[in-house]
Chains A and B, each alone.
Chain A
Amino acid sequence: MILQRRSFLLGLAGAVALGRSRMAVAAGPLGERRLVVVLLRGALDGLAAVQPYGDPELAALRGPLALPEPGQEGGVLDLGGHYGLHPALPHLHALYRQDQALLLHAVAGPWRNRSHFIAQDFMEMGATRRLPDGWLNRALAAEPEAAQGARRGLALGLQLPLILRGEVRVGSYAPPGQQVPEPDVLARLAQWHAADPMLGPAFAEGLRSRGFTAAVLAGQEPPPPGMQPFVTLAGAAGRLLAAARGPRVAALELGGWDTHAAQAARLPGPLGALDAGMAALKENLGPAWAETAVLVLTEFGRTARVNGTGGTDHGTAGAAFVIGGAVRGGRVIADWPGLGPGRLFENRDLMPTLDQRRIAKGLLAQHLGLGPAALARAFPESDDAPPLTGLLRAEA
């Protein structure tokens, strides 16, 4: 997650006001479309977020990580049979029931690389070779003439993520607040410090004073208000995107997904932050939510089997989300490969059946109105990944 300390705005229209709601028109014209990309760094376990409880192999593979079926104590939230949403995602579930959340499964990028750093670079470059810029910036460069000037990019946080780097100048905004890392990183640092007699007690006390109790560090409870930079960022993104002359494309990132151990305890924390962040984004967008699509991506999924420490390791296919008032939601899109013998990729990972680029290209084409040439610039060498259609209520 990008964290921030002091406010600053770069390259943004002076009309954008912070801390004060300035609502967009109730029903915007075509040029009012908003696209938000959320990068989940560290590899979200798609099988935990969107659990295929209807797959007969799930329980045997996942053991303690398989949650009860819908309706049971601590069970997944029903998505209409076969799939259930993790219970730490109640806002997302509500959006699904309002047909504003689309869940996509068995999704992977075209890379087959289990290194976080390499896979994240490729996810942001939109290619499987090194490019100097990100696909979202190239998409901004290619947007229709008519929309230029009105639409511009915004990075939330102190740094410009690779996905937004490139020729088109984009704004960046970091609201004031704590620079607190994710609870799982703090938990590891706390564990290391605990062994240090000089630093251990002070470090533990510092965490307590910031509201990071043992339960928060274990991911069982969300961090206290003000200590969830992602929720603050997502809320700020909503305010900025809502402004009449504000940016129209934004990128955020959230970490804490690398659940190699004790996943059942650790996953609710980041899922809860994502869920609360989406709720904050929607609330602050106000009427502009109807013009918004949010694409949630991660660099790869995780192993289908639980590992020896109650977690999962780096895998291949996982889940992606498309959320927003503009989205034709209430559906799970998946060409489900199954989890049975011979169905797993390299006998360990969920088999990819949907190319991540098809989702992104579908949104760029139908939500932002990019033509074929512009799509090819955003995602070079992607003829084998045509835009996914039918993602939106009304297509551009």
Chain B
Amino acid sequence: MTPSAAHAAIRFGLGARPGDAPPDDPRAWLESQIAPLPEAAGPTPDEIRAALDARRRDPASNPIRAFNRDEALAWATRLLTTGRPFAERWAEFWSNHLAISRRGAIATAFGGHYHRQGIRPHVFGRFDAMLLAAYREPAMLAYLDQAGAVGPGSPGGRRRNAGLNENLARECLELHSITPAGGYSQADVGALARILTGWSIGRGPEASEPTGFMFRPLAHEPGPKTLLGQEFPEGEAGGVAALALLANHPATHRALAAKLARHFIRDDPPAGSVARIEAALRDSGGDLAAAARAVIAEPLAWEPLTKLRSAQDYVLAVMRGLGLGAAAAPALLAALARLGQPLWLAPAPIGWPDDAAAWAVPEQLMRRVEWANEMASRAAFTPALTESFLGPLAPAETIDAARRAGSAREAVLLLLACPEAHRR
């Protein structure tokens, strides 16, 4: 494997698997992955609603738990075995950008659907389409409390003691779109919260869209609202237009470019790289495929091992390097929990951190060594492992020490827990 092929697998992908044919042209290999991802299977919103109803009737039965387990295992199997690791990393990036957490019955029940249908179909499409789809997913509407919000001037608001909830509006401005660098006021937060009133979750198939979304006019705040100096009309269309404005705002392009550069280049990405990715987003009207091509083309993204792996990155790289597949999916999920990054359970809407300071933590590193030691006790020390795990990016000293180790387990451990193993 050439250094740039190893780099492509480690920085842009999820780590190579033994037997993966290293690409002759790593950039072309990455670009070839920029295409719609295969649909991930899982229960429909109707089935999820039926399961929620079943649980309400009989708390002892818990079909949601089985759904979630199946979804998580399918995710784990896909990431362990995928031959399009860059595309899957790209999808993970966006799932984390628009993070939800499986907290509360609705967000838990619809969490898998959120990633499958809200994020995944849009990762190489336009960002405005992704933002809109995500905000019409029951999981997001429940997680950030939009589903229960009621306009104070709406028929529903006048009838009962209910009101606005600013959670989704605030996170939209702060995290998902223009960010504080884009400049917004508390008035804008309130305006967006009123614009999005009525965005809710359907009770049954007759009342809602196939995604599970339902606009409730009786909860919608009447009248036009002003967001970032622009007026938006009453009704569902006002929200669609407001989200489009935010998604395509220059400040959003700048924020997304900086976040992508931080993920694919280094924690403090150089301004020039950010500017080039930003230009790709701006010039393409927010096309994320164009952004992906810009990231791959960025020369600084090819400087090796400048990033620290998150726990998820580390676990995936180790297990893929060991050639583990579907049978190891439960072990993968357990490892994520053990290393402090349980699947779809980000502690806050900001998602999992993407900087070295968050992961170069004493307890984190000790748990990685201990987990790697456990994995190493089941693995053979083979040239294929060395080649797939770090390839030419492994220091000669590491390979030499592994070859001379006192047991196969020690040899594998030295490789899996060397400093380079924590980087990407």
Contacts and interface: CB of A to CB of B under 8 A. Distances in A.
Contacts of A41: 406-407, 409-410
A192 B418 contact: yes
A189 B360 contact: no
B370 A199 contact: no
Contacts of B297: none
A257 interface: yes
Contact of A3 (B361, B364, B377, B411): B377
A203 B422 CA distance: 12
B374 interface: yes
Given A43-B406, A185-B410, A188-B414, A209 B363 contact: yes
B404 A179 contact: no
Interface string A152-168: 00000111000000000
Given A199-B422, A256-B406, A257-B406, A186 B369 contact: yes
Contact of A195 (B365, B413, B419): B419
Contacts of B410: 41-42, 181-182, 185, 255, 258
A205 interface: yes
Contacts of B245: none
Interface in A174-194: 178-182, 185-186, 188-189, 192-193
B214 interface: no
Contact of B370 (A3, A157, A193, A257): A3
A206 B370 contact: no
A167 B401 CA distance: 35
Interface string A186-222: 1011001101101101110111111000000000000
Interface in B319-366: 356, 360-366
Task: Provide the main secondary structure of the chain A interface.
Answer: loop
B308 interface: yes
Contacts of A179: 369-371, 373-374
A120 interface: yes
Contact of A117 (B360, B362, B381, B398): B381
Nearest to A5: B374
Contact of B377 (A120, A157, A205, A257): A157
A203 B365 contact: yes
A162 to B, nearest CB: 10
A180 B373 contact: yes
Contact of A255 (B361, B407, B418, B419): B407
Nearest to B362: A206
Given A41-B407, A43-B406, A180-B373, A199 B419 contact: yes
Interface in B375-424: 377-378, 381, 397-398, 401, 404-411, 413-414, 417-419, 422-423
A3 B373 contact: yes
Range for the number of chain B residues in contact with chain A: 35 or more
Residue of B364, B397, B409 with most chain A CB atoms under a 10 A cut-off:
B409
Contacts of B363: 206, 209
A192 B394 CA distance: 12
B414 A159 contact: no
A178 B367 CA distance: 9
A192 B407 contact: no
Nearest to A182: B410
A122 to B, nearest CB: 14
Contacts of B418: 189, 192
Nearest to A157: B377
Given A158-B378, A199-B365, A209-B362, A178 B370 contact: yes
B406 A189 contact: no
Nearest to B417: A189
B307 to A, nearest CB: 10
Contacts of B356: 198
A67 interface: no
Contact of B408 (A117, A180, A195): A117
Nearest to A44: B406
Interface string B93-130: 00000000000000000000000000000000000000
Sorted from nearest, which 6 A-B pairs have the closest CB atoms?
A: A42-B406, A258-B406, A206-B362, A179-B370, A41-B407, A206-B366
Given A179-B374, A192-B418, A199-B422, 10 more contacts: A4-B374, A41-B406, A117-B381, A179-B369, A179-B371, A199-B365, A202-B364, A203-B365, A255-B407, A255-B409
Interface of B: 308, 356, 360-366, 369-371, 373-374, 377-378, 381, 397-398, 401, 404-411, 413-414, 417-419, 422-423
